[in-house]
Chain A
Amino acid sequence: MDDLYLDNIDEFVNDQNKIVTYKWLSLTLGVHVNLAKQVLHHYLDRKRNESSALLHATYLVSGKFVENGTTSHMVSVVQEDHLTVSVHVYSVQKAVLKDSGPLYSVDYDAVKENLRNCSRYSAIRCADAVPMSSTAVQQAHETAQAPPPETAHTKSGINGHSSLASKPTSKQSKGVMGMFANKNVSKNQESSQERTLEQREDAPVVETSKTKSAPKTHSMSNFFGNQATKKPDKSIKEEAAQMSSSVDEKPSSPVPKAETPVKEELPKGAVVEKDSSKSKRLDHSDSEEKNTSQKKQRRRIKKPQSDSSDDEVIPDSPPQLQEPRGPSPSLVKESFAFSHSDERSDCKRRKRRRVLKSRTFLDDEGCIVTEKGYESESYSETEDDFKASKPSQKNPDPPKPSTGKKEEEEEEEKRRKMVVAASNKSTKQASITGFFQKK
């Protein structure tokens, strides 16, 4: 069975050029983390013995750490070159990793899929760790947000020392990052808060290696992430602080080591929560991240939606059109069409429009005259509301003040009937009536 695992790792590392962390391996193969670590260790040994390996490994080191006379428990991931004591293999990959970022990326998807049971294969157990209720989570959230300045003054010399130590390094980092406008104050507060929260716990310190968040200045700097508005992140991943085998640091000597964790923690925005379980924290953090990423995505989505909706919506016509307006007939017809559809949804509205209508009437000589003219007519949603006013028959082109459509039709029919009656008396020619009925 071991051989099978070793073959799998071989395939992942050599063929697929992946970074294989113990966590990822345990989730992928469905085995306990300790077994995964052992398997990785065996694999590394075997490959080293065969001397064919161009493999590199990182190690997780933990132990007591003495800083300024205070001891604390520290966990970090280091390159094997910087190793003094080997504890267990963290990952195996072909490339030399310049920083610890990819280590987090590798585990991200696997942990996300197994969010509910990511501690299934884990060796860390605590009987008191139970998932928090949502109300408790909210309270913790609020208390964490509310007094950021207080945390700087709460505790004893530990905090005092740490805040002192953090100040010069924060100034250094300010110098480097001073080019970006908005970072400084909130970050310092965050970092001081982190330090105090962290020092309260002596137990396994699990810190995030989450990166700094730059505020969103404008839309083009979206890739900075939408972190500035975010509360101090409560997500937990294993720390990869010492991975900064960056050029100017010598991790072997203790003095720079004292500075580097402080320096590293500052840019990372690490927050440690007191009472919640690991899975719950991950859950909460991931859901937060999801929310913010979703919000960001939704923001992105909302923009195009609002743009498209601006195109589609035809501006409403005002509720009461003023009299003689004089628009062209086509425009009038369009507005009529829109107002017609609109009125169905709205409550009763009176609208006026000018419509080209033809009217027939009998003149003095008894001749039927057809005249075309613009009339403004008032139109409302329900036909019951028509205001009736009888049009004058002998006026060729008066603007009818308020004429219901229905009534006009009725009158036209009356005229037609009159005409028909008149024509019937005179002749029996159907052609004349046919002329009128064509309407």
Chain B
Amino acid sequence: MSSTAAGSKQSTVKQRAELALNDEFLRKAVKFTTERLRSGKKSASEEHGNWDDWRERGRQIRLHTIAHLDYYLNLFADNARANGVHIHFAQTDVEAVRIALEIAQRKQAKSVVKSKSMVTEELHLNRALDSIGVEAIETDLGEYIIQLAGETPSHIIIPAIHKNRYQIADLLSAEAGETLAPDTQILAGFVRKKLREKFLEADIGMTGCNFAIAETGSMVLFENEGNARMVTTVPKTQITLMGMERIIPSFEDLEVMATLLPRSATGQKLTVYMSAITGPRRSDDADGPDEMHIIIVDNGRSNQLGDPEFQELLNCIRCGACLNACPVYRHIGGHAYGGTYSGPIGAVLTPALNSNVAEWDDIANASSLCGACYEACPVKIPLHDMLVYLRRRKVESGNGSKLESAGMKGFSAVMGDARRMRSALKIGQFGQKLVVREGGIRLRLGPLKGWNTYRVAPSLPKHTFRDRWKEVDRDAQMKGKPLDPAVQARMEAIVKQRQQGGGHGHGGHA
């Protein structure tokens, strides 16, 4: 199903979701792993103690960096160059691919080993390398599985989340030419042996970048398998692709990110390997690449700069916590989103990077706006609000559905006036008589079709609240008691405080 990227624009999110909803293997696998990850995150953040303070610190670091992105990018580039790194800027995906391919050709590379990188997925770099006869091998276990299956990642950090052990055993058995037992150790053992050869023969090591440190020009990788260490030490040439927003100012800021990211992603207190790479091999280094390139990719990111509704998207640290928390993602998996990035972040990022509200925005509708993504986000990106802004931009750009638009006009005409609302309810109370059975409606027709496929719709009672209001008020007052003077005083104080500009919050947590 490498069709996800190419075929997505022809199909709708609804059609793609249908495939997932009817795939019991997928739903079980995704549910199993996201539940494990989010409960891990929950206990790791509770154990941390000051989680919300650190989230706010993380948010402030990201807000500050993105607000001064030009400054920090230049600082990073200058320092990285001083370390001997070749820095390239690519405005588009085409440009980034061209730069990477030119390096590969100049090095007469035959094979590239890759550590996990979402930005290379975004660029479809493996396909491009293949087109010039360079073999690209994914060395992250999940990515390797996906590559063998000819698919794209369905999760930002767990690319093969939608596959179970047995499916993986089948894929690896085909590669091995013998039947491998569906046992994690046996399967991982096979991949380890296989990849070891690939590491040794590769001409180029290719990585993504979790964070780029402006003050030192270092690029930092978080990983659990040690494959990124291999990729950045064995081959003679290293190419790193990084989104232009991966920057943070200093190593001090990295401490905050290193606290937030692994806990949010997998519930780990620390990632197993955290490597900071500051330039190619020096003369007294035992290993490392002789030549190191960093390609800084824009590809639609800078469109968010200066857009007050979407700039915070660039704060994302790609932990995947929003996917694990999302109830929609849990039921439909990542491929249903149709882009490189899935889940709530993907539903917003894909249209934003493409500056495209007409074609991609149907994924913005695949959300109940429950806000679980926002709550899970370690840097507090308001994805649930952004989804609404995307929907609004579609309507404002004239790409809204005609039927829905007419419906909403009707809605505001009725709901903009209490008398009209009352008349509509009277018509409803009368009209429903044909379809109400035992106080409920089971009819599967028109707008009730979807609802009543899973539910019984309630019927309208004989009297609305406003019909009953006068009687209820009179009756309640007869049985009522006087207001406690202390409460009265408190209420007056609240009103007074409000007039002086305070009094928000209401004692809640928000």
Are A and B part of the same complex? no
List residues of A whose CB falls within 8 A of some B CB: none
